[in-house]
A and B are shown apart, each in its own frame.
Chain A
Amino acid sequence: GAGVSQSPSNKVTEKGKDVELRCDPISGHTALYWYRQSLGQGLEFLIYFQGNSAPDKSGLPSDRFSAERTGGSVSTLTIQRTQQEDSAVYLCASRSGTDYGYTFGSGTRLTVV
């Protein structure tokens, strides 16, 4: 596609439920990133995928968070047993292997009630 697509745009969930957030990167982009933006904060790195290499999961805040990238394209970020502190905007970005610039999606606003 022309840009990075994220769905859903907004998600309200009850505390304790699991949620899945989807990211569809730009076609041909080998690198994919997930960031979290809490209210009034900058962006916090969560996880990074590069081609077929093992993902860099060093930013995941707890084992309730996981992500996968199927076929080197679409990625899903899963949060299990959501907590209120998980409420944030989750942004996905992708990057071509030949450029150092990142293209971001419009994010998913997650609200845990």
Chain B
Amino acid sequence: AQTVTQSQPEMSVQEAETVTLSCTYDTSESNYYLFWYKQPPSRQMILVIRQEAYKQQNATENRFSVNFQKAAKSFSLKISDSQLGDTAMYFCALRLYNTDKLIFGTGTRLQVFP
């Protein structure tokens, strides 16, 4: 069975600083996708960044980047130049190529302070 673990229930960071959220996963499959989603108080899950496992290059979307370590089964999210609007729950998720279900971690609550 596949699992996703987010070991940091809560994190905080000062505005303009950098923060890294951890995610590890477990699967015996070699082909899969990884995602980070942001969930603000509005409850809508917003896609932050995604990575295909066969791609060695780390994905980057503006201030958001990942450190994908396939051998270690680690997929951390780095947020640079943190903004107040980044305050939200962040979920890491895994999807295998041959299934259509997202498997989520329990989330990390990020608070950005002015």
Contact = CB atoms under 8 A, between A and B. Distances in A.
Contacts of A35: 102, 104
Nearest to B33: A100
Interface string A2-35: 0000000000000000000000000000010101
Nearest to B91: A42
Contact of A104 (B33, B44, B50): B44
Nearest to A50: B100
Interface in A82-113: 89, 91, 93, 95, 100-107, 109
Interface of A: 31, 33, 35, 40-45, 48, 50, 56, 59, 89, 91, 93, 95, 100-107, 109
B101 interface: yes
B3 to A, nearest CB: 11
Interface of B: 4, 33, 35, 37, 42-47, 50, 52, 91, 93, 95, 100-107
A105 B50 contact: no
Nearest to A89: B43
Contacts of A44: 104
A106 B47 contact: no
B49 to A, nearest CB: 11
A42 B107 contact: yes
B44 A107 contact: yes
Contacts of B45: 43, 91, 93, 102, 104
Given A41-B106, A43-B91, A105 B100 contact: no
Contacts of B47: 101-103
Given A100-B95, A101-B47, A102-B47, A43 B42 contact: no
B7 to A, nearest CB: 13
29 contacts: A31-B100, A33-B101, A33-B102, A35-B104, A42-B91, A42-B104, A43-B91, A44-B104, A48-B100, A50-B100, A56-B100, A89-B43, A91-B43, A93-B102, A95-B100, A100-B52, A100-B95, A101-B35, A101-B47, A101-B50, A102-B45, A102-B47, A102-B102, A103-B47, A104-B45, A104-B46, A106-B42, A107-B43, A109-B43
